Amino acid sequence: MKMKRFYFLAAALMMILTPSLAQERVEMLAYGNMNDWISREVKESFIIGGKTVTLYEIGDPKDVVPVNTPYSSRTSPWAVSSVYARVKGITKGSVTVFPEKRDNGYCARLDTKVESVKVLGVININVLASGTIFLGHMIEPVTGTKDPLKNIVAGAPFNKKPNYLQFDYKVIAGGPNYKIDGLSKKGKATGTTSHAIAYVYLQHRWEDKEGNVHAKRIGTGWEVFDKTVTTWQNRHRIVIHYGDITREPYYISKMGLKNGSEAYYTRNSKGKLVPILEDGWGNSNDPVTHIYLQFSSSDGGPFVGNTESKFWIDNVAVVYEH
């Protein structure tokens, strides 16, 4: 009799729990399983050695990109920080994102590296590049180190309101940051520490009659990874908070609206590259038109990081509770 009562209670508990569990829905982002990669080649200028460098993009492996050709995906919403650059007539490939074998598929490995170009009397520069994957695309060829955000078209069309960003990760973090964007390969210590970072912004965008693109920030998810974790953390979640979060205890200034020198860019209806003007905070009732999502091996900003920093990402999805 006691055993029957136990089974009855267990069954009743399952009936209570199952509907709430069934309401949760996990949706993998397109190519978010990181199993599909495009390989493309950059033939560097003879004056800097003439090497052929392989760059990797997240997308359909059947896409063929000719040598030394700017890349723009036709099918994948993802872009990476690896770039084909042509500075002062010199061609170079920079690789900071790699496919890495994981179980029966692949993950993305994001490295922080120093790239050097030296031609006597023409150019002599070292720049630090953080491994980054993001939704949007990179404008190639990159022609210089000034205004790096202008090399990015940020975000992808999106009209849903998920509760969480979900992904698998492991990370090497915690070394001292250096800013490297000049003659020195070591650069200048910033007094800060290198952390990996992941964040997601949901926006409602619109264009005015002058071609300016405006946005309200509808949702914000943000996490800094300041400790090394060498075993895979599966189905890790970042909460997406809706509305004005500036008075919340978890808010930091880096989560704020992006304008001025921090503004991301997009192309308006005429194809012109323009800043996205985040005019204010929306709320959970406002429609969403775009998502911007980014993972980076270093969070210090352009040219700041530590070359020991690495970030592995896999199975990127969004989660809905109802």
Architecture of domain 27-320: Sandwich (2.60)
Q: Does pLDDT of 3 surpass 60?
A: no
Average pLDDT estimate for 9-37: 72
Unique residue bearing structure tokens 């993972």: 295
Token output for 219: 């949702």
Average pLDDT estimate for 191-195: 93
Average pLDDT estimate for 238-253: 97
Token output for 319: 């989660």
Q: What are the residue ranges spanned by the domains of the chain? A: 27-320
Backbone angles phi, psi at 95, to 5 degrees: -120, 115
Identity of the amino acid at 11: A
Taking the C-alpha atoms of residue 100 and residue 107, their distance in angstroms, rounded to an integer, is: 5
Taking the C-alpha atoms of residue 20 and residue 321, their distance in angstroms, rounded to an integer, is: 8
Q: Does pLDDT of 141 surpass 90?
A: yes
CA distances from residue 174 to 190, 299, 308 in whole angstroms, order as listed: 13, 11, 9
Nearest to 224 by CA among 246, 255, 203: 255
Q: Does pLDDT of 187 surpass 70?
A: yes
* pLDDT digits 0-9 by tens, 54-66: 999 999 999 999 9
Average pLDDT estimate for 69-75: 91
Question: What integer pLDDT is reported at residue 145 of this predicted model?
Answer: 79
- Confidence grade of residue 22 (pLDDT, cut at 50, 70, 90): low
Identity of the amino acid at 18: T
Token output for 240: 């997406």
- Confidence grade of residue 213 (pLDDT, cut at 50, 70, 90): very high
Q: With left for phi above 0 and alpha for psi between -120 and 50, is residue 262 left, alpha or beta?
A: alpha
* pLDDT digits 0-9 by tens, 248-300: 999 999 999 999 999 999 999 999 999 999 999 999 999 999 999 999 999 88
Average pLDDT estimate for 165-169: 98
* pLDDT digits 0-9 by tens, 92-120: 999 999 999 999 999 999 999 998 887 86
Question: What integer pLDDT is reported at residue 318 of this predicted model?
Answer: 98
- Of 307 and 122, the one with more pLDDT: 307
Instruction: Out of 8-17, 20-29, 210-219, pick the least confident.
Output: 8-17
Token output for 145: 């180190």
